[in-house]
Amino acid sequence: MSERTGGITYFEKPDNDNTERTLQIAKERAEQLGLRQVVVATTGGDTGKRATEVFQDYHLVVVTHATGSREPNVQELTDDNKEAILAGGARLLTCQHAFGGVNRAIRRKLNTYQVDEVIAYTLRIFGEGMKVACEITLMSADAGLIRAGEPVLAIAGTGRGADTAVILRGANAQDFFDLRVNEILCKPVF
């Protein structure tokens, strides 16, 4: 029986201060594996902008919050960061969240949870970043920006910044149960 061992970096707490180290850990592993597909979550754009600097010459997808996620008609990604991300050669994805959207409207209106939010809460037992890493991978595959069934490096966080990096086998949202978490590179301990 074959096996392999690897290390996971555990951060003491979720924090924006983990961003640089998360990006470093993620890039080192991507280089070891020859992995070229990278997805990264960003809110205001600072993490996405920094990822474009770190992952030059990679197939990088920067995924934002959907417009109106926090306030109707408001996009949290700043114009300056948007310009920098695009100038850095990354693809930018803004769309409905895989674990949100219409089902969230049902929860808000009828005060009941839907399957996608149950999945999101279940993934959060590993940390917010794990939920987001899975979600942005699904969203990127649905948009045709990464290839489903192939390995992808996903970077996300808790609140602001990045504190979680994982290697996933991507899938489309309708094939959610084909998504596989292959490696956890780093995450906060709660």
CATH no. of 29-188: 3.40.1380.20
Are the C-beta atoms of residues 153 and 118 closer than 8 Å to each other? Answer: no
Q: Percent helix, strand and coil across the chain, each rounded to 5?
A: 40, 20, 40
pLDDT in tens, 61-95: 999 999 988 899 999 999 999 999 999 999 999 99
Tokens of 2: 């074959």
pLDDT at position 115? 86
Tokens of 111: 């005060």
**pLDDT over threshold 90, residue 15:** no
Low-confidence winner among 23-37, 66-80, 99-113, 158-172 (lowest mean pLDDT) = 99-113
In whole angstroms, how far apart are CA 160 and each of 39, 48, 69, 71, 135? Answer: 16, 11, 15, 17, 16
Confidence of residue 109 (pLDDT cuts 50, 70, 90): confident
Instruction: Say what the pTM is.
Output: 0.94
Mean pLDDT computed over 45-61: 98
pLDDT at position 18? 97
Are the C-beta atoms of residues 40 and 52 closer than 8 Å to each other? Answer: no
pLDDT at position 101? 75
In whole angstroms, how far apart are CA 25 and each of 22, 112, 121, 155, 166? Answer: 5, 39, 26, 10, 10
